[in-house]
Chain A
Amino acid sequence: MKDRVELPVRTRLAMFVRCLAIQGAWNYETLLGNGIGFCVEPALRLLPGGQDGPAYRAALARQSQYFNAHPYMASVAVGALARAELDGEPPARIERFRTALCGPLGSVGDRLVWAAWLPACSVAALAAFGFGVGTGGVLLVFLGIYNAGHLALRAWGLAAGLDHGMKVASALAGPVLRQGPAHLAQAAALIGGIALPLALDQVIGPGRALFGIVLGAVALGGVVLARLHGRAEGWKIGVGLLALFVLYSVAR
């Protein structure tokens, strides 16, 4: 059996830092593809023939084609694909594996990060703001909590990919990835519920005399926007309403 190529710490570090810029050349044709090639590249230098050898060039070409995934979870693909190339897996098998990775890494990442972790951290920061925590504290709450999860997920993904290679699917079946989104959504619901009245109270300033009316309007507006889910974007409606209000305030 072929000896397993171990990656030097410097190579792993280079891959990790590159993963932070994985979407640098994101586009509507190859999506994340070029970014995957860019991130895998430091590992490919360890292939027989070294940098610019035939194996290196063939692998870099393979890894720079179309790819789609959540940007944080793409680190799993970067690690697994680097391992597959270093293990000398047949090119056709690597390409099939690469195609199969797209769906799960996209949906798991979207559910865990964009639909759960980010909103949970955002409402936690709004809650801190609502409780009157200072500016430094609010920024620390948001950036500290969010990036603890963000960087840990990227680091775990890269390590899991490099360790498991083409058997990385087993690592994606962990309880955090499967049940985490639901628990985070529950936390976001509770914290968001607490945060909204408190944040509103902090921002309203001179309008505090109208707090009750505003609360009623917010409840009504929130219900209407929730029911419009998928048919209209609330923030665009908000832009329209504010623009009309500014015109009214200037022209009256």
Chain B
Amino acid sequence: MIDFVQVLPLALLGAVLGLDVVSFPQAMISRPLVAATLASMLLGDPVRGMLVGATLEMFALETLPFGASRYPEWGSAAVVGGGLFAFHDNASAGALTVAVLAALACAWIGGWSMVQLRKLNAKLARQRHEAVAAGSKRVVEGLQVFGLTADLVRGGVLTAVMLSIFTPLQAYVLGTWNTDPRVSRAVVVGVAASVAAGAVWKVVHAAPGARWLLLGGVAVGLALVAMQ
């Protein structure tokens, strides 16, 4: 079972990676493949985090952070997913499925929390409009520092709360899991890869010749799998 000593570093990581999603520095260390691996690295098993991260990355391919659109917050979510999957000593039948589902739920809630933060930023900007219109350096910089700090706190709190909720839930679900390990893994990977396939198609279909390149790539990929 997870304890405070394990949650604290993960919450700090979730804070930093939650910040990276939009506020600073958007270097994409918050992408699931990176974030889940870093989380499980903290718990001593980066390989398992990469399994969760790769699965979540397939979902994330569909949710690109365009402008003011609402999108899931993958940084904190992938820390939760990577952490949950790495907590268990051996990968039980539904461990990956539960970790991925928990991360997706967290990403959804994280996206909502970013919207709330943006509303709070707007409220503060409105209250300080006159000072900004007077060219106050202190207020302009203050708004920026507040937004950055609040986003950092948001990511950390979200990660800690989600881990505290999902860790006992995960233990219960895995204790009563009744589906064959092969089917369990096939379902989660199948759903993730379907989302990724649809997402890649959406991204590339308008480019000249891209559909043939995609089909050719799939053929090469399948041939490589067959050769392994």
B199-224 vs A, CB cutoff 8 Å, 1 = contact: the mask equals 11111111111110111111111101
Chain B residue contacts of A25, Cβ below 8 A = 121, 125, 143-144, 146-148
Residues of A within 8 A of B143 (CB): 25, 34
* Bound CA span A217–B209, Å: 25
Complex partner residue of B57 from A126, A182, A217, CB under 8 angstroms: A126
CB–CB B34/A189 < 8 A:
no
Task: Determine which residue in A122, A193, A239 has the highest number of CB atoms from chain B within 10 A of its CB, and name it.
Answer: A193
Please name the residue on chain A nearest to B121 by beta carbon: A27
Instruction: Check if A157 is an interface residue, CB within 8 A of chain B.
Output: no
- CB A102 to nearest CB in B, in angstroms, measures 11
Q: A250-B173, A250-B177 given as contacts; is B218 within 8 A of A193 (CB)?
A: yes
What residues of B have a CB within 8 angstroms of the CB of A226 in the complex?
A: 197-198, 201-202, 205
Q: Across the two chains, which residue of chain B brings its CB closest to A203?
A: B189
Q: A135-B37, A191-B217 are in contact. Are A246 and B121 (CB under 8 A)?
A: no
Residue in chain A with minimal CB distance to B118 = A27
Residues of B within 8 Å of A185, CB to CB, are 203-204, 206-207, 210
In the complex, how many angstroms separate the beta carbon of A249 from the nearest chain B beta carbon? 4
Which residue of the partner chain, among A35, A130, A147, A252, contacts B144 with CB atoms under 8 Å?
A: A35
A61, A189, A222, A229: which contacts B210 (Cβ < 8 A)? Answer: A189
Of B3-11, B17-25, B154-162, the stretch lying at the interface with chain A is B17-25
Q: Using Cβ atoms and an 8 Å threshold, which residues of chain A touch B108? A: 236, 239
A115 touching B57 by the CB < 8 A rule? no
Which residues of B are found within 8 Å of A208, using beta-carbon distances? 182
| A219 and B27 alpha carbons, distance in the complex (Å) | 32
Residues of B within 8 Å of A121, CB to CB, are 28
Cβ–Cβ < 8 Å partners of B209 in chain A: 186
Taking the closest CB of chain B, its distance from the CB of A105, in whole angstroms, is 11
What sequence of 0s and 1s flags, for each residue 96-130 of chain A, a beta carbon within 8 Å of any chain B beta carbon?
00000000001000100011101101110110011
A164 within 8 A of B: no
| A160 contacts chain B at the CB level, 8 A cutoff | no
Q: Answer whether A198 and B33 are a contact pair too, CB < 8 Å, given A193-B213, A205-B185, A242-B100.
A: no
Among B37, B100, B173, B206, contact of A139 (Cβ-Cβ < 8 Å): B37
Residue A67 is within 8 A (CB to CB) of chain B in the complex: no
Say whether B132 contacts A122, CB under 8 Å: no
Residue from the list B68, B91, B147, B194 in contact with A218, Cβ < 8 A: B194
User: B59 touching A138 by the CB < 8 A rule?
Assistant: no
**Alpha-carbon distance between A209 and B151 when the two chains are bound, in angstroms:** 44
Q: Is the CB of A225 within 8 A of B197?
A: yes
- Least distance between B51 CB and chain A CB atoms (Å): 6
- Within 8 Å of chain B (Cβ to Cβ): is A46? no
Contact of A143 among B27, B119, B181 (CB under 8 A): B27
Is B42 in the interface zone, CB < 8 Å from A?
A: no
Determine the distance from Cα of A23 to Cα of B125 in the docked complex, in whole angstroms: 14
Kindly supply a per-residue 1/0 record for chain A positions 211-240, scoring 1 wherever the CB is within 8 Å of any chain B CB and 0 otherwise: 101110111111111101100011111110
The CA-CA distance from A246 to B101 in the complex, in Å, is: 9
Interface flag for B190 (CB, 8 Å): yes
Contacts of B148 in A (CB 8 A): 21, 24-25
0/1 per residue, A1-38, Cβ < 8 Å to B?
A: 00000000000000000001101111111110011011
Instruction: Tell me which of B25, B188, B198 contacts A21 (CB under 8 A).
Output: B25
Listed A/B pairs (24) with beta-carbon separation below 8 Å: A21-B23, A27-B147, A28-B118, A29-B126, A37-B140, A41-B141, A72-B26, A119-B204, A135-B50, A142-B28, A194-B221, A197-B224, A198-B221, A203-B189, A218-B197, A221-B191, A221-B195, A226-B202, A229-B202, A234-B198, A237-B195, A246-B173, A249-B94, A252-B179
